[in-house]
Chains A and B, each alone.
Chain A
Amino acid sequence: DGGITQSPKYLFRKEGQNVTLSCEQNLNHDAMYWYRQDPGQGLRLIYYSQIVNDFQKGDIAEGYSVSREKKESFPLTVTSAQKNPTAFYLCASSMPGLQVNSPLHFGNGTRLTVT
């Protein structure tokens, strides 16, 4: 079955440590995205990548980094510079460009807790 896999589902870290969240897709989608979700604030875009080896900052990129070395994979690193890292992180993919209707397909999320 095609889909997006995020791992782990729950992640706990101490303050000051970097942590990497995994996102893998087998939908053959060109574009991948990372969103952060906080209660009552909806989804905010952290980073996105429209093609391999290229990515752009979203609205809240400070304290985060990404890489896109393979089409299938778009890991997100939450660095110690991120002031409020505790949140629910959602990865998504889409196939823009070829068609105007390009909805996002989401993984099941990773809940990160930093203490």
Chain B
Amino acid sequence: GEDVEQSLFLSVREGDSSVINCTYTDSSSTYLYWYKQEPGAGLQLLTYIFSNMDMKQDQRLTVLLNKKDKHLSLRIADTQTGDSAIYFCAENPSNTGKLIFGQGTTLQVKP
């Protein structure tokens, strides 16, 4: 079945790198997504990766994709207090547009 798994919580110090991990099940997803949710708000698309890529870098964000293991990660370099939020990964099974989301990882950044 379709399932996306994430760890629930990560705490880092300001200036450190954060790595948020995700595993997914559907190999038909052409794109995989990372969303950010700040308190009381909706989800904001952070970045995405095409399934035939291993890595995508966008400023402080690096997405790594291991398609064989169905493992996706988001690395945030030089983490700032403004990065404190919930981060969701999502797959798009059979490219239907009905995204399947993980439970979300709460990132806490300590000054």
How far is B42's CA from A58's CA once the two chains are assembled, in angstroms?
19
- The answer to whether the Cβ of B66 comes within 8 Å of any Cβ in the partner chain is no
Contact assessment for B42 and A106 in the assembled complex, using a CB-CB cutoff below 8 Å: yes
With contacts A40-B103, A42-B88 taken as known, whether A104 is within 8 angstroms of B95 at the C-beta atoms is no
Query: Per a CB cutoff under 8 Å, which of A50, A90, A94, A96 touches B42?
Result: A90
- Give the chain B neighbours of A26 by CB distance below 8 A: none
Closest A residue to B6 using CB positions: A42
Contact assessment for A103 and B33 in the assembled complex, using a CB-CB cutoff below 8 Å: yes
With contacts A43-B88, A101-B31 taken as known, whether A96 is within 8 angstroms of B96 at the C-beta atoms is yes
Among B1-52, those with CB < 8 Å from A are: 4, 8, 30-31, 33, 35, 40-45, 48, 50
Number of A-B contacts (CB under 8 A): 64
- The answer to whether the Cβ of A61 comes within 8 Å of any Cβ in the partner chain is no
Q: How many residues of B contact A (CB 8 A)?
A: 26
Contact assessment for A101 and B41 in the assembled complex, using a CB-CB cutoff below 8 Å: no
Q: How many residues of A contact B (CB 8 A)?
A: 29
**Residues of A at under 8 Å CB distance from B?**
4, 6, 31, 33, 35, 40-43, 45, 48, 50, 58, 90, 92, 94, 96-97, 100-109, 111
Other contacts beyond A103-B33, A107-B42: 9, CB < 8 A? A6-B42, A42-B102, A90-B43, A92-B42, A96-B97, A101-B50, A108-B40, A108-B42, A111-B40
**Residues of B at under 8 Å CB distance from A?**
4, 8, 30-31, 33, 35, 40-45, 48, 50, 88, 90, 92, 95-99, 101-104
